[in-house]
Structure 1
């Protein structure tokens, strides 16, 4: 008798939702030998909540939002359904503020993007046969009016929001960017030195006055 087992596997291609991984399958003989190995690609599922992704685009430019990669969608397996919702004019993850948005596809295209398209789009990906939710992602879209110039959306975000928008983790107990925290500690060190010198001078004066009075 021979059994087929996974002897090696790559990490999932995504950190949330449905992705793709490559596995090495081998037949294992009763003696434990690996034979007839092959590489196969399969779907993988990590945390189904993908959070909020910030986007900005100038008015008049085309834009496409995609809630499932072509690789994951094209692999053999169960079929998926896509449900879109929209919170117009708001950047939010509060599900009570969303309204149904008719679009049965995994992608949502704007040709071109208009200022009225600004808001948050939520996409849910479900397995049609079981209704299992395998991914939820929010797209916070800001369409910049064409008459505005020198508008940098990233600069309008806090440091923590910039990290989240780039998919980075906010360090624990962090209170701002490293350069800001460095400046704070440098200032605090300076104040401590000044305070120490001032205290020493005052003690010296008091000691001198005490000697004069003896």
Structure 2
């Protein structure tokens, strides 16, 4: 019957009118007591791999969008956890230390970290199959002093103890150079111009022993040039005189 068909339609229209009334109005104001803390800017991570530190500016933002009570916080940041292989050289007999985690990242409070060291003796490699465990639970490894037997590759892994998440892996390729093999005195191997450049001076502004050495060198270069010119000139004049003498003798004998 027509009355039964109009019943469901009327019920649907009534529900459609009731739904908007049940929804909150979009023009309802935000409560005045509502506050939010938002990071407004942040510095880049202090390292390009592994665990580092960044500085963030945290501000309280009001419903009107005003910033107040801002403060700066330092927090840890994580980029790529694989740091690759670093090549290092140290003279035999001198103390040396390898550090697995930057001091800034290690000093911040929060998560505790575990450190695992491995060693490949006498090899510079990143092949994990060639490493053997090395007992050292600290973030650094010290050599006092460094010996030739310490040469090789050291691998350090940093993990978060609570989750066992690996946050850094770095390889140190260490070469310990024997004392009698090479002289590592850098200053002795430099030329006079390189020493000036290393000290921040210009060759034209040189003073002291270096300037005297340069002037002495220039003096002898000039002396050599003058002697060469004098020798060539003397040879030319002697040749001309000899030619004239031979011509005169030829004419006399011809008569």
TM-score by length of 1: 0.70
Corresponding position: 1:38 with 2:71: yes
Q: Which residue of 2 aligns with 1:9?
A: 42
Return the offset for 1:150.
4.1
Corresponding position: 1:103 with 2:103: no
Q: Which residue of 2 aligns with 1:22?
A: 55
Q: Distance in 1 between matches of 2:37 and 2:153?
A: 46
Structure having the higher strand fraction is 1
Return the offset for 1:74.
1.1
Corresponding position: 1:64 with 2:97: yes
Q: Distance in 2 between matches of 1:150 and 1:59?
A: 11
Return the offset for 1:70.
1.3
Q: Which residue of 2 aligns with 1:195?
A: none
Q: Distance in 1 between matches of 2:38 and 2:108?
A: 20
Q: Which residue of 2 aligns with 1:86?
A: 119
**Structure 1 residue corresponding to 2:150, chosen from 108, 112, 117:** 117
Q: Which has the higher contact order (CA 8 A, sep 6+)?
A: 1
Moved over 2 A (4+): none
Structure having the higher helix fraction is 2
Q: Which residue of 1 aligns with 2:238?
A: none
Once the two structures are superposed, residues 73-105 of structure 1 have per-residue CA deviations (whole angstroms, 9 ceiling, x without a partner) of 111111000000000000000000000000000
Once the two structures are superposed, residues 97-123 of structure 1 have per-residue CA deviations (whole angstroms, 9 ceiling, x without a partner) of 000000000000000000000000000
Task: Report which of the two structures shows the higher radius of gyration computed on alpha carbons.
Answer: 2
Corresponding position: 1:134 with 2:167: yes
TM-score by length of 2: 0.59
Q: Which residue of 1 aligns with 2:223?
A: none
Q: Which residue of 2 aligns with 1:196?
A: none
> 1:166-185 alignment to 2 at 5 Å?
none
Q: Secondary structure at the match of 2:109?
A: coil
Once the two structures are superposed, residues 113-140 of structure 1 have per-residue CA deviations (whole angstroms, 9 ceiling, x without a partner) of 0000000000000000000000000000
Once the two structures are superposed, residues 22-55 of structure 1 have per-residue CA deviations (whole angstroms, 9 ceiling, x without a partner) of 0000011111111100001000000000000000
Unaligned runs of 5+ residues in structure 1 are 153-214
Unaligned runs of 5+ residues in structure 2 are 1-33, 186-255
Q: How many corresponding residue pairs?
A: 152
Q: Distance in 2 between matches of 1:4 and 1:97?
A: 50
Tell me how large the CA RMSD over aligned residues is: 1.1
Q: Distance in 2 between matches of 1:87 and 1:72?
A: 27
